[in-house]
Structure 1
Amino acid sequence: MPEVSVIIPVYNVEAYIERCARSLFEQTLQNMEFIFVDDCSTDRSITLLKKVIEDYPQRKKQIHIWSLERNSGPSVARNMGLSMASGEYIIFCDSDDWVEREMYDKLYTCASRYHADICYCDFYMVCQDGIMRMESVAYVNDKVELLKRYLAEGLTVMWNMLVKRDVYLQHKLKYPDDIVYCEDFWLSVRLMYFSNKIIKVCEPLYYYNRLNQSSLLMKPMKRTFTDELHAVLDTIKFFSERGDIDLYNKELSWRILKVKQDMVLHPDEYQDFLTIYPNSHAYILSCPKFFCNKKIKIMMWMLVHKMGWIISVINYIRNLYHKVGIIPV
């Protein structure tokens, strides 16, 4: 059995795949498997990947390349990888990112030492301004408190989280096929909920590449709103069905407020705002500023307290400003 399975969905990343693959094949951890899932790339991604593989003959038997029959999105690609993985632990890597040479060695060693179901780490964010060190959710040895902190974080991802395969198998967990944005949030919350022991390596080991202009995250669209709303509402249902909603209601409410905040800018969406998880309205003023800014929170509070007409006037004036090219303070 491999100690770690790395699942890498691939779609049109010819500019990045070589750096990603080399960082994986040069890992100090030897007993691994690498599962690349081609989501019907139309560029030279797989050709370049195969060329890189030739430089690592010692890894050849550990590398598997699978192809989807049609372009289906990252969730379906990752689920195919999950179905093929045989490692003791599983982790994902995006094919436009890269990792430190000792990443999986350090995560696996830590997870094994503490008999953890999950071991996660900090990361670097690569953007136009350079490379910034980012801290993942601060660790605390209390799973409820740790999960509350995780829900209250802005970024919830899977690529810095090494997870024991048994957790996936025992609870029949996989990515939701119908969500292409916020899918990591949907899955990671459930993995943390079902895990008995979670530990952290307080060191940045993953490079999250924000320079890829073709990435889904770089393309704001209506689908991102509907997917994020679906993911959070489905997670609220998940906790409600298990009788634990009261433990996490505040943090989940902040998440819902983040998703539906733009509704207060459109009068025809006021009623949708008021009817989508109204329990969240009690937490408007406490919502963190990186989810909702102060102006939006005041407008949400006014709408909930039947002052929608004032918001409509504010939005009318705001639109007039924009028409003449003036940005109100």
Structure 2
Amino acid sequence: MLKLKPSISIVIPCYKAEHYIACAIDSALNQDKVDVEVIVVEDGVFDNTKDKIPCLPNVKHIQLEKNMGASGARNIGLAHASSGYVVFLDADDYFQGDLLIGLYQALLESQASLALGRCLSLHEETGKRVMFVPPYKEGELDVLKRWLEGCWGPGTCSILWKVDEIKRIGGWNEDFVFNDDGELVIRALLNGCKVAQSFSGYGVYRKHSSPSVSKRKGFDTFENQKCLEFYVMDRINSDRKFSDLILSLNEFRRINAQNAYKCGYDKIGKDFEKRWEYYGGKLPLSRVGKVPKNIYLILFLLFGMRDSEKIISLLRLYLTMIKTKFFNRK
């Protein structure tokens, strides 16, 4: 008697993705240990993406007249998923090895709501490759702490969800224009979802300057992070089992204050910094970026958080100018 393969839906939101979409679809169809249903949601018609989508029974193409953003496109794809499991694969990402069957088996064995797998971040401009490997038997609280403290991962291409569970928590938050994947994972784990890990295969998350999933950046980025901060704080206040997240949430505040100052949003940075100090923040626990922690601590003690970020930005600009002059002379 033939053993039936598990069925998994692959939702691919795409935006100006004609150069990448074929690779993403092929990588899904090549996951031969599972039966895949590919759902391509074209988030507004801006190029010739539709010409790259194969006409196959297990490949659906949904074309949106209006751009809804990545989360909106993902929710539409989720609504059309016919299997009990789903992965959200951005149009410029792809699967390698036995990723999907590994995630499925891990989720099934642990009776979990979502399974995290390995994820390779590929920086196209520099060629830099960074592999994320989920910590072995990492529990829900540890995942929450890690994500709040800035150690994100994996990308959406390496997370398998139970369809019923992601629908139970409300799907993707369409109000989020930044860190929408982080918000989804954090909200899931704060609402009773259980997590599992797999180490088979990996997803490839491409980083480049022209995203093929529509994203908006700017002021809303930090408004989204503030909403997430308040949501986590509400859950901590309403459920004692999340009290261990207090320090991690305060590190989340500090990281966002630092990033807001770096982007020139001084008022937002100050608001985050005030809440960080109110909840006991005195010295940074870590440094996000390439500046060594000890150097940053000295600058922080001498000039404070906001001016430290401005000094670091000026130093980076100065070093870039020196490098440019040096290479031009060569």
* Same fold flag (TM > 0.5): yes
Instruction: Name which of structure 1's ranges 210-219 and 96-105 shifts more when overlaid on structure 2.
Output: 210-219
C-alpha displacement at 1:123, in angstroms?
Answer: 1.4
C-alpha displacement at 1:19, in angstroms?
Answer: 0.9
Deviations, residues 97-151 of structure 1 (Å, cap 9, x unaligned): 1111522122112322333322211111211343624124413354323432343
Instruction: Report the equivalent of 1:240.
Output: 237
Contact 2:254/2:273 (<8 A) preserved: no
Q: Which amino acid aligns with 2:81?
A: A
Q: Which amino acid aligns with 1:254?
A: E
Q: Cα–Cα, structure 1 residues 126 and 142, in superposed 2: closer, same or farther, change >3 Å? A: closer
| Separation in 1, partners of 2:300, 2:242 | 23
Instruction: Report the equivalent of 1:13.
Output: 17
Contact 1:39/1:77 (<8 A) preserved: yes
| Separation in 2, partners of 1:80, 1:68 | 10
2:89 corresponds to 1:93: yes
Deviations, residues 234-259 of structure 1 (Å, cap 9, x unaligned): 33334434344422111121112111
| Separation in 2, partners of 1:312, 1:140 | 36
Number of residue equivalences: 308
Q: Cα–Cα, structure 1 residues 296 and 64, in superposed 2: closer, same or farther, change >3 Å? A: same
Q: Cα–Cα, structure 1 residues 133 and 41, in superposed 2: closer, same or farther, change >3 Å? A: same
SS of the equivalent of 2:12 reads strand
Following superposition of structure 1 onto structure 2, how do residues 307-322 of structure 1 map, counting pairs within 5 Å?
Answer: 311=304, 318=311
Instruction: Report the equivalent of 2:77.
Output: 81
Contact 1:122/1:201 (<8 A) preserved: yes
Contact 2:41/2:74 (<8 A) preserved: yes
SS of the equivalent of 1:36 reads strand
Q: Which amino acid aligns with 2:286?
A: P
Deviations, residues 259-286 of structure 1 (Å, cap 9, x unaligned): 1125667796375245445544x24525
| Separation in 2, partners of 1:158, 1:62 | 21
Q: Cα–Cα, structure 1 residues 104 and 131, in superposed 2: closer, same or farther, change >3 Å? A: farther
Q: Cα–Cα, structure 1 residues 260 and 23, in superposed 2: closer, same or farther, change >3 Å? A: same
Specify which of 62, 66, 69 is matched with residue 66 of structure 1.
Answer: 62
Contact 1:179/1:231 (<8 A) preserved: no
| Separation in 2, partners of 1:175, 1:246 | 25
Contact 1:121/1:201 (<8 A) preserved: yes
Following superposition of structure 1 onto structure 2, how do residues 168-247 of structure 1 map, counting pairs within 5 Å?
Answer: 168-169=166-167, 171-195=168-192, 197-214=194-211, 221-247=218-244
Instruction: Report the equivalent of 1:159.
Output: 157
Q: CA RMSD in A?
A: 3.6
| TM-score, scaled to structure 1 | 0.78
Give % identity: 20
SS of the equivalent of 2:198 reads strand
Contact 2:150/2:255 (<8 A) preserved: no
C-alpha displacement at 1:318, in angstroms?
Answer: 4.8
Instruction: Name which of structure 1's ranges 260-269 and 61-70 shifts more when overlaid on structure 2.
Output: 260-269
SS of the equivalent of 1:208 reads strand
| Separation in 2, partners of 1:61, 1:222 | 42
Contact 1:26/1:101 (<8 A) preserved: no
Contact 2:12/2:41 (<8 A) preserved: yes
| TM-score, scaled to structure 2 | 0.78
Q: Cα–Cα, structure 1 residues 290 and 106, in superposed 2: closer, same or farther, change >3 Å? A: same
Q: Which amino acid aligns with 1:18?
A: A
Instruction: Report the equivalent of 2:141.
Output: 144
Specify which of 97, 103, 124 is matched with residue 99 of structure 2.
Answer: 103
SS of the equivalent of 1:130 reads coil
Q: Cα–Cα, structure 1 residues 152 and 204, in superposed 2: closer, same or farther, change >3 Å? A: farther
| Separation in 1, partners of 2:38, 2:186 | 24
| Separation in 2, partners of 1:295, 1:237 | 35
